[in-house]
Amino acid sequence: MDEKLAPIDLEIEEHEYEEDEPDYDDEYSEDDDGEMESRVAVNTWNLPSDLPLVREAADFYLLLDLHLDGLDDGQFNSRVVKLANWFSCYADMVVGGELRYTCGHVGDVTSLHPSLLEVLRNSQHGSRHEAWDGWADVRQRHGPDALVWAEQAFKAFGQVSTYGGYKWAYIAEVVRKYVTGEYTPLLFVDMCWSLEHNGGQFFGKLWNTHMLQGVLDANKHWSEGEGTPELLTKSASPMVREFYAEVR
């Protein structure tokens, strides 16, 4: 089978986080729908319901700094693979959720791929968790082709749109290029940290993004030779913080 047409493998490493009460940002509601969304994310897409993004970003960039000098003791690559698996499943899932707005916001849907259009017409009145769940089946059946159709659908919303649009087309493109091997895990993860959809930070559909931008900005300034990694070390996990201090 052509590798580019192979369906995405949703099986990833068993996550290491406790399934406590999720702490979501304003975009994610902790009502019955929110509980169902969390359930689909965990059971269908093999995602942690709560991922400490600030800590993960700080660990990622501190270990990257050590990795560039060969000082990370192999920790960086394993961290990248884990994040790439989670981020690709998350990106795929939320692309499917956004697609449910297509029939209500695109004037002429006849140009969309027939297989996608059939799914969208059946799901346009459904909830986000139903769209997340249904999209997993679409992706398993059609592989990366479904992400190409999603890009086309999002572009049909137009450049300026409350839903869909070019930002979402770009997200679909990024995850497609990762699952087909065009983007390496490292490039993909690094790109995901800065992705945004129409409502703001990319990860806000499921996980708490509070304080994440501050850590990303701190890394940007540090990598440009301004300031120190102080905020990163404060935000990192104890294990990475101690390891970084010992090596550096």
Q: What is the reported pLDDT for 120?
A: 86
Which tokens hold the place of 178?
């990762």
Which tokens hold the place of 47?
């995602």
Q: What is the pLDDT of residues 16-42, one digit of tens each?
A: 444 343 433 445 445 577 899 999 999
CB 140 within 8 A of CB 67: no
Tell me the Ramachandran region of residue 86: left when phi exceeds 0, alpha when psi lies from -120 to 50, beta otherwise.
alpha
Q: For residue 122, is pLDDT > 50?
A: yes
What's the distance, CA 198 to chain centroid?
A: 15
Residue range 177-182: mean pLDDT, rounded: 98
Average pLDDT in the chain: 87
Sign of CA dihedral 231, 232, 237, 243: negative
pTM of the model: 0.85
Portion of the chain with pLDDT greater than 90, in percent: 70
Q: For residue 6, is pLDDT > 50?
A: no
Sign of CA dihedral 13, 17, 23, 25: negative
CB 199 within 8 A of CB 16: no
- Alpha carbons 94 and 72: distance in angstroms, whole number: 33
Beta-ladder partners of 197: 200
Q: What is the reported pLDDT for 31?
A: 58
- Alpha carbons 21 and 30: distance in angstroms, whole number: 10
